[in-house]
Chains A and B, each alone.
Chain A
Amino acid sequence: MSVLLQVEDLTVNFALRTGDLTALNGVSFALNEGERLGLVGESGAGKSVAGFAIINLISKPGYIAGGRVLFQGEEISALPQEAIRRIRGNRISMVFQDPMMTLNPVLTIGTQMVETLQAHRDIGPSEAAAIAADKLRKVHIPSPEKRLRQYPHEFSGGMRQRIIIAVALLNDPQLIIADEPTTALDVTIQAEIMDLFLELCEQSRMGLMLITHDLAVVSETTEKIAVMYAGKIVEEGRTGDVVRSPRHPYTQGLIAALPQGEHRGTRLNQIPGTMPTLTRIPPGCSFHPRCPHVMAVCARREPASLPVDYPGGGQGVVACHLFDPQRHDE
């Protein structure tokens, strides 16, 4: 299986009046062709920043301070703006949280879809309209030819998110980055949209990077999980392994907080404390003030990313001093 997306040591800073703030701190992960990865973490962990940084769309005062992004072997983080623009919406598409806001309110669905196609391909309007209708059919929107002539406000939230997914599919991307695609939707519609993503990815071997704060959504949809905390990836592994036997204390806390089976409805077992704001990241491991297994070394040194084995034989990476064989309790 060949690697679709490889993110190496990606770092994003925001230049604020009070000094630089590091929103993404040396993030690395990889995604194979047709694979689905879930990027989870609390709100403010830097997930969205990671998504935008991949397609080099960090706007001021933010800037990419280091690292590189390889897409199908090509270092896209080094490309000039004009070249990366041709990748956006073409080979890599993005889907956002709020379907109310992502479509332009004054243009018809058809116009927006045709223009998205024409931004990347040299095709006529009727051919483009045919492709647009075909994609609407793919996301199960009935009578697509009629729908193309309608405006965004004429659709329900769930329908609109389907349309946005159809827009993302227009140029047959190899990767879709979906940033909280179901957060603004009703629970029943959430499940439909996630099923749709699964179906589409399997149909055309498309990679999916699913960004969400909802571990439950990720565990049902993706093959891999990367857990983010305060701008860093603290654990990465196969979804089944991580959900069944999480290694990092933060992941353990997240899993324990999941409402499931008989515990549904009872008070959640939440991690005490809150994630630090990025301007006040504690020294050492940024999770140590909330960690039930905190040791002396945690406040002093940042943990390195270490390979770990899961009970099923799967492998992963975890950034925690507990798994450092060279750790001599100083």
Chain B
Amino acid sequence: MMDHWQRFKASDLFYDFKRDKVAIVSFAVFVLLFVCAFSAPLIAPYNPYDPANIDIMSSEIPPVWMAGGMDDYILGTDAQGRDLLSTMIYGMRISIVIGLCAVLLQAVIGIVIGLIAGYYGGKLDGFFMRLADVQLSFSYLMVAIFVSAVLQAAVGVGRFAEIAVPFLIIVIGLAQWPQYARTVRASVLAEKKKEYVEAARVTGFNSHRIMWRHILPNCMSPILVLSTIQVANAVMSEAALSFLGLGMPVTRPSLGSLINAGFEYIFSGSWWITAFPGLLLVILVLAVNLLGDFLRDVLNPKLYKG
């Protein structure tokens, strides 16, 4: 473990990181938000899921520095009387969980398909890459709208709220696997020609082992860079779907559904219900994207964007 840390400290990646202020700041912001999100029950002033904390009488209270603000609610409350700060922290946790899980799903599908397509080539490759083209030619929003409309009609809105998290993970996960498949395939095609692969075959390793143990680890830098971009994309996609009312319900809001819920109240003057979650979403996505840019510049991989 110490050994790995020493090795990392001596690496080019760490050297470049130390000299890049934007990377350091965005990394710090991301870690801070991540830690906050996952320690939500510890740091949030209230539990927004607990009906005991919800008092409709205290709805739409403005932030503490505005006239009518209360010390108990730093960023004010939303239309249902929940503390906005607490709701945002919990909401960010949902956004991050959905984003990470969706990317994990994309990565698993995309890496397996990309490895197989790139390594075996031929008809298999043709089939999977055409499948990827077809997948990308559908707007995932259109598909998501269709599927969620059907699901909501089939299981009822109440039941749908319960399955919203896995539903969003699957929709966003399935929509974007081709980015991984294309990137991995391109790397595999380049790696496959290298002599260490030939040497591995000469050593008597089977194809399975060569693919997973020898080629895949050499494709990690493009995968890493793509993953940061995809996490930012997935968080945005989740927000978009929730904003359209196809994602998380207001009772368990993500950042997107908070923005949506507050939207109606903008014109009645309660701008903060939408503005603060929106700002948090922008900061989160920006931090991840800037980290991705840094990694892309340092690792300089060939990427295939959809």
Contact = CB atoms under 8 A, between A and B. Distances in A.
B158 interface: no
A102 B204 contact: no
Contacts of A86: 204
Contact of B204 (A89, A101, A105, A106): A89
A86 B206 CA distance: 9
A106 B217 contact: yes
B205 A96 contact: no
A101 B193 CA distance: 10
Nearest to B209: A119
Contacts of A120: 204
A238 interface: no
A96 B217 contact: no
Interface in A78-93: 85-90, 93
A103 interface: yes
Nearest to B192: A59
Interface string A265-297: 000000000000000000000000000000000
A55 interface: yes
B195 interface: yes
A57 B206 CA distance: 12
Nearest to A98: B195
| Residue among B3, B195, B204, B206 with the highest chain A CB neighbour number at 10 A | B204
A103 B203 contact: no
A88 B196 contact: no
A94 B204 contact: no
B198 A96 contact: yes
A55 B203 CA distance: 11
A88 B217 contact: no
Given A104-B214, A119-B209, A89 B198 contact: no
Contact of B202 (A88, A101, A105): A88
B206 A85 contact: yes
Interface in A89-118: 89-90, 93-94, 96, 98, 101-107, 115-116
B9 interface: no
B203 A101 contact: no
A88 B199 CA distance: 10
Contacts of B205: 89, 115, 119
A101 B195 contact: yes
A74 to B, nearest CB: 16
A27 interface: no
Nearest to B200: A104
Contacts of B203: 88-89, 93, 116, 119, 167
A83 B43 CA distance: 61
Given A104-B218, A106-B217, A119-B209, A90 B204 contact: yes
A292 B304 CA distance: 57
Contacts of B209: 119
A55 B202 contact: yes
B159 interface: no
**Residue with the greatest number of chain B CB neighbours at <10 A, chosen from A86, A87, A106:** A106
A101 B213 contact: no
Nearest to B215: A104
A304 B214 CA distance: 45
A57 B201 CA distance: 8
Nearest to A152: B196
Most chain A CB within 10 A, of B201, B202, B213, B218, is at B202
Contact of B199 (A96, A106, A115, A149): A96
Interface in A158-206: 164, 167
Interface in B213-232: 213-214, 217-218, 220
Interface in A118-176: 119-120, 149, 164, 167
Nearest to B121: A60
B201 A102 contact: no
A89 B202 contact: yes
B196 A104 contact: yes
Nearest to A81: B206
A96 B195 contact: yes
A164 B196 CA distance: 11
A88 B203 CA distance: 5
Contacts of B196: 101-105
Contacts of B213: 107, 115
A238 B206 CA distance: 38
Nearest to B3: A149
| Chain B CB within 10 Å, residue with most, of A94, A104, A120 | A104
A88 B201 contact: yes
Residue of B196, B205, B209 with most partner-chain A CB within 10 A: B196
Given A55-B202, A94-B202, A167-B203, A105 B195 contact: no
B199 A87 contact: no
Contacts of A115: 205, 213
B64 to A, nearest CB: 52
A62 to B, nearest CB: 13
A107 B199 CA distance: 14
15 contacts: A85-B206, A86-B204, A89-B202, A93-B202, A93-B203, A94-B199, A101-B199, A102-B195, A102-B198, A102-B199, A103-B199, A107-B217, A115-B205, A119-B209, A120-B204
Interface of B: 3, 194-196, 198-206, 209, 213-214, 217-218, 220
Given A104-B196, A107-B214, A116-B203, 18 more contacts: A55-B202, A57-B201, A87-B204, A88-B202, A89-B202, A89-B204, A89-B205, A94-B199, A94-B202, A96-B199, A101-B196, A101-B199, A102-B196, A106-B220, A107-B213, A107-B217, A119-B203, A119-B204
9 closest A-B pairs by CB: A89-B203, A101-B195, A88-B204, A89-B204, A102-B199, A94-B202, A106-B217, A104-B196, A85-B204
